[in-house]
Amino acid sequence: MNTLLVVVGAGLIASGGLLALLASRWPRWATGIASGTTVLGCGLGLVPALRVLLGATGEEVRLRWSVPNGDFLVAMDALSAFFLVAIFSLCALAAIYGVEYLQTYRKHKSLGPPWFFFNMLVASMVLVVIARNAVLFLVAWEIMSLASFFLVTFEHEDEGVGRAGWTYLVATHLGTAFLLALFVLLGEGSGSMDFVGFGLAEHPVPRHASLLFVLAVVGFGTKAGFVPFHVWLPEAHPAAPSHVSAVMSGVMIKTGIYGLLRTLTFLGTPPAWWGWLLIAIGLVSGILGVLFALAQHDLKRLLAYHSVENIGIIALGVGVGLLGLSLQSAPMIVLGFGGGLLHVLNHACFKGLLFLGAGAVLHGAGTREIDHLGGLLRRMPWTGWTFLVGAAAISGLPPLNGFVSELLVYLGGLEGVRSASTSHMPILVSVVAGLALIGGLAMACFAKAFGIVFLGEPRSSKAANSHECGWCMRLPMVILAMACAAIGVLGPLMVRLLVPVIALVTGMPDEGVRATTASPCTILGAVVGASVALLLLTVGLVILRKWLLSGQTVSRTVTWDCGYAQPTPRMQYTASSFAQPLTRFFQAFLRPRISLVRPVDTFPASASLATHTDDVFREKVYSPVFRGVARVVSGLRWFQHGRVQIYVLYIALTLLALLLWKLD
């Protein structure tokens, strides 16, 4: 019954999308139908997903499907249920948000297609997570990619958006090619494309398990945004409408993590170097992600790079867990996988929140250039305060949820440092030091994002005239902010919820995992104690100051300006200047392009400074490769004559060749 409900929910969402497409002519109806069915479908699916997570079983549902090797086979276990909870919750909130957000486009765009693709995206993500047949999985994966492609190119009349869309399309299909190879190899062993047959865990590890693992890391890593397969991410996420960015960043890229974890269940005990590889990828993604984020001027692009960073933290957690599996250290397994998985959920909360906040800024002020904003907290208090919660959470600051999952990964690394042999020390020490560096840089980056956008004085008339969004947009942000705080305080509970998921991924018995989680649960309990103390102390201090200031004069004046006669808002520190010391220190990695026109003479007519940080991998790795490929392929151009007769000849020749091949 549980799985069936989820399938019905997904079907409801998909059909809602179709109806919205049919109702394109009446935007109000299209919006209402699509968002209504999404919320309803998500609500319908959330209940069984939670029940399965709490211990109920999700039965297999097999429907007839006439595709060779394919079978419409779906089921729900703890791993699926965990990802479903994130998908359903965030998508429902994004759908509510979208109702108001897309209104801006009503005048010059039809709202049917974006809603159709949004609903298809949600439904396909659900299908990806519950599919138990490789063909079905790949079909759902492809629908997911295409739906998100059309959403990314929603504003295709903008110059950059087209480029972003094509980058995304190419990257995601290259990734899918690796997945195809992965599933063909997996299916070869069992002779069936059902996941059940892939379960190699019982058998001795096949010789090519490592090959399969690498294929999965590349294929799923492309979707997840591991460096160096991340190049599409900072292009595509900012281009999409904000509620879609939230869904893409919050949950869609996590389907890559889901796929990787699912593949791990097929592959048996990992050798140590798998853990090393994932940790290395996690470190590079985390550090480069946050560094590139620091150098960005565009709020949504900054957030997109932070997704790379957080995927890196998740990879660190999973890597520590894998290393624990190969070293047979139960605490490392539980802490690593637990931290990684919890960070999946946490990142869905705060990244969803931050993208929705960025959308509200774009909606209210009309720009996402950080250096044109400022002083928005007074004008958009709801957006501002919820954004602050998200910023603190993503920086991993206690008492919010980001700290809980990062602490678990830290503990996994520290446990490894304490107990593992010297040969694994370099990678384990770099987990801890790397996390600290990522944490410090993320804090710098979000101090910049929040401080420059929401604090100070507005730097342009757009920011000065900005307005707060309506309740449809506020409500999802408030709910997500509360979720960030709640998970932070309910840490021990969350870890207990994760027990069946960890057991499923690692193949450890439930009881073993539960026994091992006892220690992290007490630790998180102590953290909760500290958090409560922190809150109480803050409240106490607020009361103390109120009492101290009662009866005293409290006056308001201008900010201390060093005696300068006419300060203007443009003299404030900008985001670029705020980040400059760090970007300069790390310029070896960032390679910023700086164009400077110096002021000359006593009365300089003009001067300008522009910095631009392109993605190093895009500029230095992919562009040359693709140019090379284009050069090679352009040699084949003579095939294209533009004459119909020739094309018919090609077809005839192909048919003939196939016939001959089949005959002998």
Per CB under 8 A, which of residues 498..537 are in contact with other proteins? 519, 522-523, 526-527, 529-530, 533-534, 537
The two structure tokens encoding residue 3: 């799985």
CB of 300 to other proteins, least distance (A): 20
Angle at 419 between CA 417 and CA 421, to 5 degrees: 80
Among 165, 250, 456, 491, binds other proteins (CB under 8 A): 456
Residue 630 is a binding residue for other proteins (CB under 8 A):
no
The residue count of the chain comes to: 664
- Residue 204 or 426 having the CB closest to other proteins: 426
Quick one: which of 78, 444, 479, 528 contacts other proteins (CB under 8 A)? 444
Strands (DSSP E) found in 41-177: 58-63, 72-76
**3-state class (DSSP) for residue 490:** coil
Which tokens belong to 621?
């790795």
Find the part of the chain contacting other proteins (CB under 8 A) among 38-46, 134-142, 275-283, 566-574.
566-574
Whether residue 241 contacts residue 154, with contact meaning beta carbons closer than 8 Å, is answered with yes
What is the DSSP code (8-state) at residue 371? Answer: G
CB of 416 to other proteins, least distance (A): 10
First-to-last alpha carbon distance for the chain, in angstroms, is 50
Interface with other proteins includes 626 (CB under 8 A)?
A: no
Three-class DSSP category at 273: helix
Which residues are paired to 612 by β-bridges? 593
Judged by CB under 8 A, the residue of 440, 470, 507, 592 near other proteins is 440
63 binds other proteins (CB under 8 A): no
Radius of gyration of the chain (CA): 26
Give the one residue of 68, 426, 563, 635 binding other proteins; rule: CB under 8 A. 426
Least Å distance, CB 405 to other proteins, is 12
From residue 314, give the alpha-carbon distance in Å to each of 324, 519, 541. 15, 21, 37
CB of 500 to other proteins, least distance (A): 24
Residue linked to tokens 């429907």: 63
The nearest distance, CB 83 to other proteins, in angstroms, is 27
Backbone torsions φ then ψ of 225, nearest 5 degrees: 100, 30
Nearer residue to other proteins within complex by CB, 43 or 529: 529
Nearest residue to 287 (alpha-carbon basis) of 616, 555, 519, 597: 616
Distance of CA 352 to the CA centre of its chain: 8
State in angstroms the smallest separation of the CB of 291 from other proteins: 10
Per CB under 8 A, does 592 bind other proteins?
Answer: no
Please name which of 439, 361, 358 lies closest in space to residue 394, comparing C-alpha atoms.
439
Which residue from 10, 452, 477, 502 is in contact with other proteins, where contact means CB under 8 A?
452
Using CB under 8 A as the binding rule, the residues of this chain from 356 to 385 that contact other proteins are 374-375, 377-378
Q: Does 461 bind other proteins (CB under 8 A)?
A: no
Using CB under 8 A as the binding rule, whether residue 566 contacts other proteins is answered as: no
What gap in Å lies between CA 524 and CA 543, rounded to an integer? Answer: 29
- Interaction between residue 594 and other proteins (CB under 8 A): no
Q: Is 585 in the site for other proteins (CB under 8 A)?
A: yes
Whether residue 175 contacts residue 229, with contact meaning beta carbons closer than 8 Å, is answered with yes
Choice between 511 and 561, CB closer to other proteins = 561
Q: Could you say which of 56, 214, 272, 417 contacts other proteins (CB under 8 A)? A: 417
- Binding mask of the shown chain, residues 537 to 556, with x at each position contacting other proteins by CB under 8 A: xx-xxx-xx--xx--xxxxx
Query: What would the x/- binding string for other proteins be over residues 317 to 356, using CB under 8 A?
Result: ----------------------------------------
Task: Compare residues 259 and 416 and give the one whose CB is closer to other proteins.
Answer: 416
Give me the torsion for CA of 199, 203, 205, 206, rounded to 10°: -80
